[in-house]
Structure 1
Amino acid sequence: LAASAMGINPTQYKVLAFVLGAILAGIVGAIAAHFLNTWNARQGTFDASITYLAFVLVGGSRTFLGPILGGIVLTALPEILRGLGDARLIFFGLLLLLGTIFYPQGLITPELLRRCLPTALKPKI
């Protein structure tokens, strides 16, 4: 409503965001198929989608570095917990739960970047 009140066409920007997301997904799919030398339906499962969503939620969705850090943490964490056997899934779930409780905006927020980055590297927000 606020964008419409300012004379901005929200439908145009929603369609633009959808198209850009589809283009990026296509590029990533082509690169993944190239590196894996194959592509099948089992690689794009619902579980993989939930994992990628968790990357964004844990890292933080308001910065570019957030999902990258979330991906690194959530890829390394199961390997670190591998020594716990089947109990690692419980600990993994508990750590995800505690992370979302204590860091609801993710690990990296724009405020954190403003405090930590030098002024030349600060994002213009």
Structure 2
Amino acid sequence: MTKRIVIIDKDRCNPKKCPYNCMNVCPPQRAEKKVFSIDDDGFPVVDENLCIGCGVCVKSCNFGAIKIAKLPAPIEGSLIHRYGPNQFELYRLPLISQGQVTGLVGQNATENNLPKNSGWHN
């Protein structure tokens, strides 16, 4: 099952000129759930646990600062990093661990593409 999250682009959002339509039209917010709050800089913040991902806030934003992103279903036990609330999650990336060999093979991993002084030439 996919998850829908609200992403607010702080470069487009203009709290000083905004009537916070996103907050006023949000169905759960209108039902007195605290989906939206305002941070110290005046930007709206969405509680992803209360947001239903309906997209009504997207249509109401005067500045086009709100987007809905569809995320794939979480992969159990494979979360590597999360950028923060309402941010993307990274799964199953190679991790470099002390005492373990990590090999990444790509276009430049052939003998002809290695620098002559790399020690990898015969």
Band the TM-score falls in, shorter-chain normalisation: under 0.3
Looking at secondary structure, tell me which structure has more helix per residue.
Answer: 1
Answer with 1 or 2: which has the greater Rg.
2
Return the TM-score normalized by structure 1.
Answer: 0.26
The TM-score normalised by the length of structure 2 is 0.27
Higher strand residue share: 2
